[in-house]
């Protein structure tokens, strides 16, 4: 599908027909052909309230936890209570696999725009190529593009590389190995987090995803932030929290920032060989507010094409997540929800979702 066909689409909210509806959908998911622009377009120019983050002192920087350190458990509890984010080293995911995930991601995003659009997300699907899904909540476009893999990337890679079997198979093998490794690590980290709160396997046995036995896996999100002509007026990925229990993130270079109470936006520097772990909304609910789902965003730069890969780890879609009240407060701060229900609330209310499922008891206070 040629780019021009998409770029001529205009958003029109009056007298909406089915075609208009589809066109609106296309407008909200089709990334710019970034290589073709030398000046930041008006559509991508944000009124930014994000001057460069304050420089942070050592005590205010994101914790780095060596998973083979006997103190890892208590450091993790502290990081989850105070930051909602930390780096892990000695995590066991082979460094050559992580390098290859980045290489393959770059390969995909370096394809000509027309070719990437062959794998565009469809109206009723979450997987494939497109703008960040949160784009519909903002009047301006973000300076990024993404490729979402749900279970297997095969359907979309067939469209991206119809004749190059070798490339397609290699891409799929790398991403599937990545999903397996990330899932293994997420389970391990969840175990350490729960252990740090004094919880047993019995307390948490229902929420463990059953990916292995169903031959499926958590969503893998490849993000691309092309070189930007004016980073001070552009936004890579707007401030949000993740809906997962935990997110595991690989960043090729610094660009991620987190909001820290009393400080403001703090950069999460890329640490060689480390993965970034962030606490998601479901973990905040499950821990009854003890662990904080971290507000984060990605900024862009003028010199290099930044790539990140996020693995979202969550419970089986229909399992009820109920706050473990023994962890804080004598009553549940949130009403029970499933991942499926929560994703629906998030899709409609975005950053207000957590507030919307606060329990009536707390609203009455
Ligand atoms: O690119 C990044 O550093 C952040 C990505 C992210 O937050 C996400 O995919 O949810
Ligand atoms: Fe995120």
Q: Which domains does the chain have, with CATH numbers?
A: 56-318 (2.60.120.330)
Ligand 2 centroid vs 9 CA: distance in angstroms?
Answer: 29
66 phi and psi angles, rounded to 5 deg? -85, 115
Report strand pairing: 256-260 vs 296-298. antiparallel
Ligand 1, atom 6, lies closest to the CA of 310
261: left (phi over 0), alpha (psi -120 to 50) or beta: beta
Single pTM value for the model: 0.90
Strand boundaries in the chain, DSSP class E: 64-66, 85-89, 128-130, 145-149, 220-225, 237-240, 246-251, 256-260, 264-267, 275-279, 296-298, 306-313
- Which of ligand 1's atoms lies nearest the C-alpha of 308? 1
- Which of ligand 1's atoms lies nearest the C-alpha of 255? 3
Neighbouring residues of the ion ligand 2, judged by CB less than 5 Å: 242
pLDDT per residue, tens digit, the chain (365 aa), is 333 332 322 233 334 454 554 555 566 689 999 999 999 999 999 987 655 555 556 557 899 999 999 999 999 999 999 999 999 999 999 999 999 999 999 999 999 999 999 999 987 789 999 999 999 999 999 999 999 999 899 999 999 999 999 999 999 999 999 999 999 999 999 999 999 988 877 777 777 765 444 445 689 999 999 999 999 999 999 999 999 999 999 999 999 999 998 889 999 999 999 999 999 999 999 999 999 999 999 999 999 999 999 999 999 888 999 998 777 778 899 999 999 999 999 999 999 999 999 987 666 55
Ligand 1, atom 9, lies closest to the CA of 310
Ligand 2 centroid vs 139 CA: distance in angstroms?
Answer: 20
Q: Among 246, 249, 251, say which to mutate for ligand 1: greatest number of ligand atoms within 8 Å of CB.
A: 249
Ligand 1 pocket list (CB less than 6 A):
221, 223, 237, 242, 249, 251, 255-256, 296, 298, 308, 310
pLDDT at 289: 94
pLDDT at 54: 56
C-beta separation of 278 from 186 below 8 A:
no
Ligand 1 centroid vs 256 CA: distance in angstroms?
Answer: 7
**Local structure of 146: helix, strand or coil:** strand
Ligand 1 centroid vs 308 CA: distance in angstroms?
Answer: 7
Q: Among 142, 150, 182, 237, say which to mutate for ligand 1: greatest number of ligand atoms within 8 Å of CB.
A: 237
Give ipTM to 2 decimals: 0.99
* Catalytic sites, residue numbers: 306
The residues, any chain, with a CB within 8 Å of residue 116's CB and separated by 6 or more, are 31, 108, 109, 129, 145, 160
Ligand 1 centroid vs 20 CA: distance in angstroms?
Answer: 30
């Amino acid at each position: 599908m040629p780019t021009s066909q998409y770029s001529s689409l205009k958003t029109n909210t009056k007298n909406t027909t089915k075609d208009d509806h589809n066109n609106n959908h296309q407008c909200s998911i089709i990334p710019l052909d970034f290589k073709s622009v030398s000046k930041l377009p008006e559509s991508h120019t944000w009124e930014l309230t994000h001057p460069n983050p304050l420089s942070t002192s050592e005590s205010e920087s994101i914790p780095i936890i060596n998973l083979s350190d006997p103190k890892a458990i208590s450091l993790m509890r502290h990081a989850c209570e105070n930051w909602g984010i930390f780096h892990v080293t000695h995590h066991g995911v082979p460094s050559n696999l992580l390098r290859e995930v980045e290489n393959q991601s770059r390969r995909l995003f370096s394809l000509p725009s027309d070719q990437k659009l062959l794998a565009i997300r469809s109206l009723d699907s979450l997987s494939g190529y497109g703008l960040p899904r949160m784009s519909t909540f903002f009047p301006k476009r973000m300076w990024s593009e993404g490729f979402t893999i749900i279970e297997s990337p095969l359907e979309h890679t067939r469209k991206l590389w119809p004749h190059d079997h070798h490339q397609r198979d290699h891409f799929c093998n790398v991403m599937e190995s990545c999903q397996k490794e990330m899932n293994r690590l997420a389970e391990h980290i969840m175990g350490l987090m729960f252990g740090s709160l004094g919880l047993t396997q019995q307390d948490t046995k229902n929420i463990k995803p059953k990916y292995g036995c169903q031959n499926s896996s958590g969503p893998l999100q490849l993000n691309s932030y092309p070189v930007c002509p004016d980073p001070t007026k552009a936004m890579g990925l707007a401030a949000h929290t993740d809906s997962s229990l935990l997110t595991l993130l690989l960043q090729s270079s610094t660009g991620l920032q987190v909001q820290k109470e009393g400080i403001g936006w703090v950069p999460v520097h890329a640490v060689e060989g480390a993965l970034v772990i962030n606490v998601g909304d479901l973990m905040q609910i499950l821990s009854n507010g003890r662990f904080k789902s971290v507000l984060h965003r990605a900024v862009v730069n003028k010199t290099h094409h930044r790539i990140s890969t996020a693995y979202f780890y969550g419970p089986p879609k229909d399992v009820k997540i109920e706050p473990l009240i023994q962890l804080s407060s004598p009553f549940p701060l949130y009403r029970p929800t499933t991942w499926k229900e929560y994703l629906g609330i998030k899709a409609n209310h975005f950053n207000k979702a957590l507030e919307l499922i606060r329990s009536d008891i707390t609203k009455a206070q």
